[in-house]
Amino acid sequence: MVPQESQAEQQPVFDYLVANVSKKDSGFADDTVKGSQYNQPLLEFSGSCAGCAETSYARLITQLFGEHMYVSNATGCSSIWGGPASVSPYTVNKDSLQGPAWANSLFEDNAEHGFGMQLGQKVLREQAIEKLGAMNESEKATPEFKAAFEKFMETKENTRTNTEATKALLVEVEKAAEAGCEDAKAVLDKKEYLAKKSVWIFGGDGWAYDIGFGGLDHVLASGENVNVMVFDTEMYSNTGGQASKASNIGEVCQFAAAGKEMKKKSLAEIAMSYGYVYVAQIALGANPAQAVKCIAEAEAYPGPSLIIGYAPCELHGIAKGGMNHCQDEMKKAVKSGYWNLFSFDPAKKEAGKNPFTLTSKEGDGTYQDFLHNESRYTRLVKPFPERAEKLFAKSEEVAKERYEHLQRLVELYK
């Protein structure tokens, strides 16, 4: 890093790029790894720590659905880099000046807050659709209106295609309003709510696994179409690294100064037990294709979805490479069997297929190397060498059991 003033002569280049460079047709679908990277990120210049994994997940989600997103954000790192006082790193796109609508409620009621966003916009949207239905039945409905309404209804649940269909329909609604149609005027009053929205609930593991868990469970059980993204740093990062139920065996955190003894809670499986919740565990740096696929599947699933993303953090104290190699650390976590990649898609079950997909392989024997590269573990070695050895061995054993259990789930859901 160098002082900002010394780089000021580059400003015209930056301005040129911002003003003149437009989206190129990549030839790849938007919901693929390559295609998604041609989309404008609607999260930029956040105040996160360098290398923060949380921002890379949020940025990617905005590249897929940003223009249509409502985000409810739990208090935690993501509400701090996502909404520091007076500025916002979330932005709007160049063409329609649309971007994520973002709000932070509390640490403890984030799921409920996002649920309210979903219900509020759903009711307004349905009221507008009811009026459109009445217009469609009217003998005054033009063939153009009928065709546009049909297209709108066909794409009603698809976040991407419904936007264009809504635009075309609103042209016809405006014509009808000009001709004096009262229903059309009522629809125009709610036009912001007409296109399909993508409702997201963001938060850390302290929120999802612990403090906000009751609300999260309630919202997942509701069956409503919300998408939950958990940034799993395996600790309360924003308040200096307290242990959460996502922390792992042997991990040294505040309130677990001698290394946590209990294993990590399987939030994913609690959600899977409902059978109608889309669930995925991802790690962007380890398998970007699986991550993008799961995010797209979760968003497309017309019920509740929970994605848990492994998020290395400054506080993990990565020895080799530090946070410059955050994405590589995710790779190591998956390769060693420390973190598992899988998804449970109820839509597949409905189609007669196995809903459970186990993507990652068995650990490759580097589990202890993984632990020994992070100071949240190695901190235990000096003061308590024997305890460290015991807990690290237990952690590996539990990870093996967990993987075998996941393999059994593949058979169980067949």
Ligand X SMILES: Cc1ncc(C[n+]2csc(CCOP(=O)(O)OP(=O)(O)O)c2C)c(N)n1
- Residues binding ligand X (CB under 6 A): 74-78, 107-108, 203-207, 231, 233, 236-239, 244
3-state class (DSSP) for residue 216: helix
CB neighbour class for 171 (10 Å; exposed up to 12, middle 13-18, buried from 19): exposed
Nearer to ligand X, 99 or 312 (CB): 312
Which residues, in sequence order, are CB contacts of 28 under 8 Å at separation 6+?
34, 35, 38
Nearer to ligand X, 291 or 388 (CB): 291
Least distance from C-beta 49 to ligand X, angstroms?
Answer: 11
Nearer to ligand X, 233 or 340 (CB): 233
What's the count of helices (H) and strands (E) in the chain, helices before strands? 17, 8
Least distance from C-beta 107 to ligand X, angstroms?
Answer: 4
Longest distance between any two alpha carbons in the chain, whole Å? 83
Least distance from C-beta 29 to ligand X, angstroms?
Answer: 31
Contact criterion met (CB below 8 Å) for 255 and 243: yes
Nearer to ligand X, 296 or 306 (CB): 306
Least distance from C-beta 230 to ligand X, angstroms?
Answer: 9
Nearer to ligand X, 110 or 163 (CB): 110
d(CA 91, CA 98): 8
Q: Which residue is nearest to ligand X (CB)?
A: 204
- β-strands 198-204, 101-104 pairing: unpaired
CB neighbour class for 20 (10 Å; exposed up to 12, middle 13-18, buried from 19): exposed
Contact criterion met (CB below 8 Å) for 376 and 343: no
Nearer to ligand X, 262 or 412 (CB): 262
Least distance from C-beta 75 to ligand X, angstroms?
Answer: 4
Least distance from C-beta 374 to ligand X, angstroms?
Answer: 16
Nearer to ligand X, 114 or 203 (CB): 203
Which residues, in sequence order, are CB contacts of 47 under 8 Å at separation 6+?
80, 81, 84, 89
Least distance from C-beta 388 to ligand X, angstroms?
Answer: 24
